[in-house]
């Protein structure tokens, strides 16, 4: 069952790509006591993720923070080094935390996995965006496969 409004963000360990190198992050602690926008993508460097999804959050970072968002995070079922390289490629600095869910543990705990093994990609994260306040989901939007309509930075901004 996919995560929904009112659910708690699962507490698991993921890796964050930082300027100082990989850092282990407990998602329970990451979301605790603040308002966080989390968006998930099927994969770093993939066409829609790179051309539309990531840029929509980078472009709206200041507006989201003006609406009370303390942190914006991007998550993908990729390793931390790929997430770091993608951040560099996309010009992402500290406005978006890059969370690597390499084994899809966080993705599965949220019920947002989908299997793209037949396309050579393995288990991936569905495209989504959510808002959590103090670790509780207040808004969630999951895209239909192949769509990019409800999980953009603009859509989240409008939902706040």
pLDDT digits (tens, 9 = 90+) for 11-50: 999 999 998 999 999 999 999 999 999 999 998 998 898 9
114 or 6: whose pLDDT is higher? 6
- The rounded distance, in Å, linking the Cα atoms of 112 and 96 is 20
Q: What is the rounded radius of gyration, in angstroms, for the C-alpha atoms of the chain? A: 14
Mean pLDDT of 133-145: 95
pLDDT-derived band at 123 (thresholds 50, 70, 90) equals: confident
C-beta neighbour count of 2 within 10 angstroms: 12
pLDDT-derived band at 116 (thresholds 50, 70, 90) equals: confident
pLDDT-derived band at 120 (thresholds 50, 70, 90) equals: low
Q: Which residues pair with 37 in a beta bridge?
A: 72, 131
Mean pLDDT of 89-104: 94
Mean pLDDT of 70-89: 96
125 tagged catalytic: no
Tell me what percent of the residues of the chain surpass a pLDDT of 90: 85
Active-site pick, 49, 100, 140, 156: 49
pLDDT of residue 119: 75
For residue 123, CA distances in Å to 1, 19, 40, 101, 114 come to 16, 28, 13, 11, 6
The SS3 assignment for 141 reads strand
Mean pLDDT of 107-134: 88
pLDDT at 145 over 90: no
Q: Which of 28, 64, 49, 69 is closest to 143 using CA atoms?
A: 49
Helical residues (DSSP H) of 44-141, grouped into ranges: 47-48, 54-59, 61-66, 80-90, 105-109
Mean pLDDT of 75-101: 95
Mean pLDDT of 118-142: 90
Q: Which of 98, 109, 146, 154 is closest to 129 using CA atoms?
A: 154
pLDDT of residue 128: 96
Name the token pair of 47: 């066409």
Please report how many Cα atoms fall inside a 13 Å half-sphere around the Cα of residue 155, on the Cβ side. Answer: 18
pLDDT at 126 over 90: yes
- The rounded distance, in Å, linking the Cα atoms of 52 and 127 is 12
C-beta neighbour count of 14 within 10 angstroms: 22
């Amino acid at each position: 069952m996919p995560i929904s409004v009112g659910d708690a963000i699962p507490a698991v360990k993921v890796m964050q790509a930082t300027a100082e190198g990989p850092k282990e992050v407990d998602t329970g602690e990451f979301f605790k006591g603040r308002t966080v926008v989390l968006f998930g993508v099927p994969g770093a460097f993939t066409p829609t993720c790179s051309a539309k999804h990531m840029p929509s959050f980078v472009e709206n970072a200041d507006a989201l923070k003006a609406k009370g968002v303390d942190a914006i995070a991007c998550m993908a079922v990729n390793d931390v080094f790929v997430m770091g390289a993608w951040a560099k490629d996309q010009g992402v600095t500290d406005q978006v935390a890059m969370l690597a869910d390499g084994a899809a543990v966080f993705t599965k705990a949220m019920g947002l996995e989908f299997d793209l093994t037949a396309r050579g990609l393995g288990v991936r994260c569905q495209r989504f965006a959510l808002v959590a306040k103090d670790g509780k989901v207040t808004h969630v939007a999951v895209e239909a496969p192949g769509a990019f309509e409800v999980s953009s930075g603009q859509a989240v901004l409008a939902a706040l």
